[in-house]
């Protein structure tokens, strides 16, 4: 999408709002900071009927040791299937791991004493159907592995929350949840538009 520069005091038309502001592909839902020495972090009110697919990112913070970060749909302790393929940064040797009717997806992310990395797409967690997951595996150590994983939860049910689980603990770092906006669900504004000033955007949304 093109970028438009808006001058101070300029009135932005409704067509500009719809094109540049209202209909981005990823829509922010919530952020949550991990506390001190946490091993099982619940993120509630993450999924709803508003979006079908989501992105979840964890960055920053530290782990108590080098460890995998598991992803679990809250309230579901079984029926997870998936596979991971990674290559070692030092030797380029390739290895794989899989889960079959496990209690979580075990390779959703990686944690070290330096930082934490997790970035996953979640497909249809709220709607009563099979839930899918995919993302990169990024081990933040020079002796670690990088790769990709994917999987699904084999029982169709509705989820609104998820958990990140580690064998040791994590401290700090921010978990952010976004929804993927779908074509045909765009927000539209049809009044006078938005006026931009140094304090932010002001608008009349009677036509939203």
Report pTM.
0.80
3-state helix, strand, coil in the chain (%, to 5): 5, 55, 40
Q: pLDDT digit of tens for each residue in the chain (208 aa)?
A: 445 677 777 777 776 665 556 566 899 999 999 999 999 999 999 999 999 999 999 999 999 999 999 999 999 999 999 999 999 999 989 999 999 999 999 999 999 999 999 999 999 999 999 999 999 999 999 999 999 999 999 999 999 999 999 999 999 999 999 999 876 554 444 444 444 444 444 444 443 3
Closest by alpha carbon to 79, among 58, 56, 102?
102
Strand partners, 170: 38, 63
Which domains are present in the chain?
Answer: 25-183 (2.60.120)
């Amino acid at each position: 999408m093109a970028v438009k520069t808006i001058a101070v005091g300029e009135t932005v038309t409704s067509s500009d709002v719809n094109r540049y502001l209202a209909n981005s592909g990823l829509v922010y839902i919530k952020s949550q900071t991990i506390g001190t020495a946490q091993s099982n972090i619940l993120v509630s009110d993450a999924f709803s009927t508003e979006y079908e697919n989501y992105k979840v990112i964890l960055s920053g913070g530290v782990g108590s040791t080098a460890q995998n970060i598991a992803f679990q749909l809250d309230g579901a302790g079984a029926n997870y299937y998936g596979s991971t393929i990674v290559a070692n940064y030092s030797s380029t040797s390739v290895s794989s791991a899989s889960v079959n009717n496990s209690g979580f997806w075990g390779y959703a992310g990686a944690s070290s004493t330096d930082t934490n990395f997790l970035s996953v797409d979640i497909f249809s967690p709220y709607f009563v159907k099979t839930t899918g997951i995919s993302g990169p595996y990024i081990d933040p150590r020079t002796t670690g592995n990088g790769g990709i994983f994917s999987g699904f939860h084999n029982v169709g049910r509705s989820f609104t929350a998820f958990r990140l689980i580690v064998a040791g603990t994590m401290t700090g770092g921010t978990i952010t949840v976004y929804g993927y906006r779908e074509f045909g669900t765009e927000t539209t504004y049809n009044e006078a538009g938005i006026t931009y000033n140094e304090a932010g955007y002001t608008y009349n949304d009677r036509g939203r």
